[in-house]
Structure 1
Amino acid sequence: MKTQNNQLPTGGSRAVRLDSFGGPEVLDVREVPAPQAGPGQLRVRVTAAGLNPMDWVITADADAAARFGLSLPAGFGTDYAGVVDQVGDGVRSFAPGDRVFGGALSRAVADFVVIEPAGGTAANEVHHTPDGVDDRTAATLTIAGRTASAALATVVPGPDDTVLIGGAAGGVGVFAVQLARIAGARVIGTGSATSADYLRDLGAEPVAYGDGLADRVRALAPGGVTAAIDLYGVETVHVARELGVPDDRICTVAAQVDGVPSAYAPNAAPGALEEIARLVETGRLRVPVAASFPVDQIRRATELQAGRHVQGKIVIDL
C-alpha cells in the first residue's frame, strides 16, 4: 500500500455518527479508528464536506435509511473533498497527494473516507479536483451537481426554451439555473421574496411561489413556458401543466407525479460531474457557499440545512 510520506498513519480519527434515527440532535462527533485502504481502494483525508437535504432525510427514520441500504450505527453526509493519503494495491489513477472530490454515502463528515475508485456512483466515487477549484467548492458538487445534470438531461433545454424551475434558490437550484442558462434557455425561478436578488444573480428571473403562481408566470412569459423542473415538491408540476407544458418536458426531483419523469443523482450521465467541475474552474458556473461550520457544530449546520431556506450550500470544515 502506498501512503503519503510513505508512512502508515497511526491513531484514531473523528467522524459524525448516529446510534438512532432522528433529527440533528442524534448527531455526535466521535473518536473512531482510522479506516485503512484495502486492495482496489484509496483513502481520502477529508478537508471539507458539503451538506444536502438528503443527508438528514435518509437518517430521519429507519424506513428512509433502509431505502438507501443504511443501518445503525451510521455515519452522516455524502459530499466530500480532500487529499488522497493512502492507495491500495491495484489502484492506478490516483496517488498520495492528489486533490480529489466525490461521494461517500452517509460517511463523508469524517476525517477519513475509504473509496473504491471503480464504484462510479454518487454513493462511492472519486474524481480529481481541478487546480482552479478550492476544496470547499469541490465539496458541494457531487449530489446537487449530479441531480441538476440529470434533471437538465430529462427536459433538454435550449435557446428556444423558457424553463420554469421550482425551488430555484436551493442547493440543486444553484446548478440547475446556471446549467439551463449555459444551454441558452431563459429561466424563471420560483422562490421566496427574500431570494429574488439571489436568483437574479444566478441568471434566473425570480417569481414568488404560492397561490397565483401560474398568473405571475404568465405575466413574465406571455409567450409561454416550454419546460419545467420541480426541485421542491409538486407545485411547479401543476403550474407547468396548467400552462400547457407536456409531461415529457417536466421533471421532478423531490416528489413523484404519475406521467412525469423524475431525475436522481445516480442517473446523471457519465462525465457529468467532471464537466460541472470544469465549468466551475473556468468561471462559467458559480457555487455560492452560504455558510461553513467546524465539524463540532454539525448539529447547528444540519438545523440550518433542514430549514430549507439556505441560499447556496453549507459546508463542514474538517
Structure 2
Amino acid sequence: MSRAVVYEKFGGPEVLELREVPEPHAGPGEVRVRVTAAGLNPMDWGLAARPEAAARFGITLPSGFGYDFAGVVDEVGPGATGFTAGDRVFGGVLARAVADHVVVKVPVPAPDALYPTPSGISDEVASTLAVAGSSAVAALAAVGLRSGDTLLVGGAAGGVGIFAVQLAKLAGATVIGTASEGTFEFLRKLGAEPVTYGPGLADRVRGITAATDLYGTETAEAALALGVPPERISTIAAGPTPPGGVRATGGADAEPGALKKITDAIVAGQLTVPIAEVFPVERIRDAVALQAARHVHGKVVVTL
C-alpha cells in the first residue's frame, strides 16, 4: 500500500484525509516518483474549497491534493525515456502531488511537469519551484521588465512574490513590495523596499514604471492610477479579465527554460527560497491552514 492525501467533499482543511491507497506502478511510457516533499500553493486549497474552481481544471470528487513535488524516480516503465531509476526530480502533477508515489507520463503532458533536480538544491526547496517560480517568471515577462525599472510587486512576501522580487533585482530593477508591517524586514532582506498594502496605496508609492499584482487587483489599480501603462502591469490572481486592460498571466505562460533560470540562480547563490515552515504529511491540515491564512512569509512544505 501507499499513502495519499485525498478529499471526498469540497471545503476547508478539515476535508483533507491521509489515506492508504493501492500502490501505483509505472506503466508503458511512464515513470514513478517516490515523493519526498510537496510545496503548497494557494491554488491547492482553492481547488479543494471551491467546486467552480475545480471544475475549470476538470477535477472531480474524490480527488487527490497538491501540484508541486520533489523526489526520486524509483520505477521506469517500458519505453519511458529521459529518466532513470535513482534520478532526483521535481515538478508538478495536478491534484495528486501529496502522496508517497506519483506516476508521470513521459514526455510529460501539460499541465504536469517533470525536471531533473540539480545537485546542491534540496528536495524541500525543489518542491516549491514549479508553480511559484514559473508564475514569477511569467509575471515579469508580461510587463517587459528591464534594467532601470522601478517595479511595484503586490503580495511581495508570498510564495510567488519571493521569486518575483529576487528575479527583478537580478534583472537590474528597483523593487517596491506591498506587505504588512510585520513583513517589512523580511522583504528588505530579499532586496525590496516595503510599503504597506491597503487603501491609499497609490498615495504611498511614487516613481514606478511597472507593476505586477500577485494577490488580487489592488496593486494593479494603484499602478493604473499612477499612470503606468496597462501593458506594463500584470496580474496572476485577478481572473482572465483584470481591470483597465492590464495583462493577466500565470505559470502556464512562462518561457521555456524558466525553471532552469531559477535553479541556476539558486545554485549560483543569487536567489534564495525562504521556507516558512515544514510539516510532516500527517499534519497536512495544519500546513494547509497556515497556507490558506495568506500571512505566511515564504513557502510551506509538506514532507513524506
Matching residue of 2:243: 257
Give the superposed CA RMSD.
0.9
Matching residue of 1:204: 192
3-state secondary structure, aligned to 1:276: helix
Superposed CA deviations along residues 169-205 of structure 1, whole A, max 9, x for unmatched, are 1000010001111110000000000000011011100
Q: Does 1:195 align with 2:183?
A: yes
Q: Is the 8 A contact 1:15 1:32 kept in 2?
A: yes
Matching residue of 1:168: 156
Q: Does 1:63 align with 2:52?
A: yes
Q: Does 1:229 align with 2:212?
A: yes
Q: Give the C-alpha shift of residue 65 in structure 1.
A: 0.5
Matching residue of 2:32: 43
Q: Give the C-alpha shift of residue 283 in structure 1.
A: 1.1
Q: Determine which of 276, 279, 283 is the counterpart of 2:262.
A: 276
Which 10-residue stretch deviates more, 154-163 or 103-112? Answer: 154-163
Alignment of 1:12-51 (within 5 A): 12-51=1-40
Q: Is the 8 A contact 1:117 1:125 kept in 2?
A: no
In 1, Cα distance between equivalents of 2:197 and 2:112: 35
Matching residue of 2:253: 267
Which 10-residue stretch deviates more, 88-97 or 308-317? Answer: 88-97
In 1, Cα distance between equivalents of 2:50 and 2:228: 36
Q: Determine which of 97, 100, 116 is the counterpart of 1:111.
A: 100
3-state secondary structure, aligned to 2:63: coil
Please give the TM-score of this superposition, normalised by the length of structure 1.
0.93
Superposed CA deviations along residues 135-157 of structure 1, whole A, max 9, x for unmatched, are 00000000000100111110121
- Is there any run of 5+ residues in structure 1 with no aligned partner, and where? 1-11, 219-223
Q: Give the C-alpha shift of residue 120 in structure 1.
A: 5.0
Q: Is the 8 A contact 2:230 2:244 kept in 1?
A: no
In 2, Cα distance between equivalents of 1:42 and 1:270: 22
Residue 113 of structure 1 aligns with an amino acid whose one-letter code is V
Matching residue of 1:7: none
**Following TM superposition, where does structure 1 have runs of at least 4 consecutive aligned residues deviating by more than 2 angstroms?**
none
Matching residue of 1:96: 85
- Is there any run of 5+ residues in structure 2 with no aligned partner, and where? none
Q: Give the C-alpha shift of residue 115 in structure 1.
A: 0.8
Q: How many residues in Structure 1 have an aligned counterpart in Structure 2?
A: 301
Residue 252 of structure 1 aligns with an amino acid whose one-letter code is T
In 2, Cα distance between equivalents of 1:263 and 1:281: 27
